[in-house]
Structure 1
Amino acid sequence: MNILFASQAIDGHFNPMTGVAMKLKERGHDVRWYTGPVFAGKLKDLGIPLFPFKRAIEHRADNLFELYPERARLKGPRAIGFDGEKIFASNISNFLEDLRELDQEFPFDALVVDSSMFIQRLVSHLMGRPVVSVVVIPNMESDPLVPPLFFGFRPARNPADKALQAVAGLLSDKVILRPADQSYRRQHSFYGQEVPKGGRLTDETYRCSDAIIQAGTPSLDFPRRNHNPKVHYVGALLPYRRPGAPAGEPLPQGYGNTIVVTQGTVDNADQEKLIIPALEGLKDMGALVIVATGGRGTAELNQRYPQSNIQIRDYVDFAAVFESTDVFVTNGGYGGVQLALSKGVPLVVSGINEGKSDVNARVEHAGAGINLRTESPSPEKIRRAVHSILADPKWKNRAQQMQQDFARQDPAEAAARVVESVLSSRRTP
């Protein structure tokens, strides 16, 4: 069957889908990909033909401030609202027109789409193709038991919590998401598509897809009152790794503990937020501290922290390093959180922007780590949290329990089965 993958040109959206694409390719399907030209080299290495964006703006982790200089001044909910409109909603019509054009060259039988592209309704209704959405962030479907988006709330425990979250929910849906929602409805109206009232913009993925491949496990989600049978939790969706691929550069041996630190690949320009406070807080602990910079300021940090127990690198082979990691200090990127828990590594999480607060609230709720609940923790706060995790075995025990949840199935295999089941049901009279 002809299967078209489509994703934003952002590493955290593209990379987790590559394992699924390769699994379907190995199973004999003709797999091609619609995304930004930035991934031409990666797709060539995978042997997957690329249909590059033509009309669509290529939003990348490294060009967002260039495209939108005003974004640098925004924080918290305002930044999320801005991203929702400019990065995620504004391209919908461009995506559709590109897809209609490439369909002439590659008539696809199914679209496997990054959920944040928000083209499920148009592709399903106007092109008549089955759509499988891949959600590489926490489950964002509305539910009475799930807190509102973007505030980092845990489930309400008392009437006061419920009242606060009700107000925050109105702010999230009617203010923060309003520009993106208006853009979404306006573009759909142009194509004669009426978007039902009620619910929020992020519910469209769950309304309009034939199936949803949800990264993570139910143990890393909040309890839900309503069960959506289209949602399939598949575990940690990780970038494709060739069998027998060598691990990264070897690390020094002989340290009692290993601590890994990252500030992600998007919000990592200001290293004073997490990387530098973490280095200051952990440098004298006697542990091996491994820092992944995402390619920013690595040389300068190595000059500033020449200690033998500190290893600062552009990129780290997390899958290999987590085999011997005791604590993962992160701003809360969902991919890294899943990978750490799939290896049984407890976390210290500290991040708010780009939905990180909602990821970190789930880590806290699951009991798998300590949530510092700030964008810029102090060195002392980080040191105390790491000490707490190393001193109390409950954190490691809980992370290892969740590791068992992640190990129940092969994520790429499970996701491929979801896609094939949709294809099979569409072929059945």
Structure 2
Amino acid sequence: MLKDFSVSALMMGLLTAFVGFISSFAVIMQGLQAMGANPAEIASGLLAQSISMGVLAIVFSCFYRMPISIAWSTPGAALLAGIGTAGGGFAEAVGAFVICGALIILSGLFQPLGRAIRLIPAPLANAMLAGILLSLCLAPVKAVAFNAALGLPIVLTWMVVVSRWRLWAVPASLAAMVLVLVLGVDVPADTMGRIGAAIHPDLTFVTPVFTWHAAISIAVPLFIVTMASQNIPGIAILKVHHYEPPPGVLFAGTGAFSIFGGLFGGVPVNMAAITAAMCASEDSNPDPARRYWAAIMGGVGYIALGLLAGGIIAFVSLAPPILLQAVAGLGLIGAFSNAAFAAYREPETREAAAITFLVTASGLSFAGISGAFWGLVAGGAVMAFNRAMRVRQG
């Protein structure tokens, strides 16, 4: 196992952990705040989720020798922010988190779901991945338009380094963002004191309250969004990179740790989508059999970030969100181009892939489910129709 370790996997793993944590923690915070969590409960939730993501990624990747990345349910947190405060306060929301975790476990034990995922056509899975990545890959352009003085140094640093040292391009752009933040953003005088005071969060157990109202209005929608927007696309992305993970085991594992994290205030954890593409790409290692180390190091990174969550949140929140998104987008350009090429390679499935890409990239959300799921549905319908017409004509 140690012979498979590489510096490129180490760098990509730590980068994916940082990108996954920093690019979406604000959404997680907003969702927990909407459910009535106080600052201590929010910090506890972030820590519990980080531990869950790290442990699962390390265990699954070591056991299956695949780059299995785990993430928190960002779409689920966005859903929570839209639902608003639970009637019984945060304890009732925690009860819903536990129920959601139990439902995810049941979905892992329901074998037809795993078989259905394995039948997803590769062109559609690639088109879905490209659609997911598009908005983030546009972030560097938007960052320059937002503030050229802040965004341009990040992009130019990436352009210079990627032409000579591809592995170091995104870490260099991340370093450029930190310098921009230090030199170009006004920082209050007491910032360092506040960062130091908040750096180490504590796990705070929240006694769950179970109600039918929370189960129906929070747990079920949260389960659907987590499965449709994260777990199913996450498995599909691994398939794009020629891995065949066992969906049932992975879903059951994420469900169990969602219950653990929920009891300490965290939203569910699930299969990663965007960061999974980073760990599974050739940038982590040219040899697909050795890329699992990227997910392992990503898990280590998540645990470390969770232990420092308070201070990291206080520091990074000083930067405009678009700068964080720009760094993530630069790290995903390679994955986007590879997915787009694979999606449109076959003429027979090109229209279906285009529909999948457009619906996914549109940001469409229907019935609380993101465009990634509906993109697969729409593309699958077009593919089935085209095949039926060819059979009828031939």
Q: Same fold by TM (over 0.5)?
A: no
TM-score normalized with structure 2 length = 0.26
Q: Which has the higher contact order (CA 8 A, sep 6+)?
A: 2
TM-score normalized with structure 1 length = 0.24
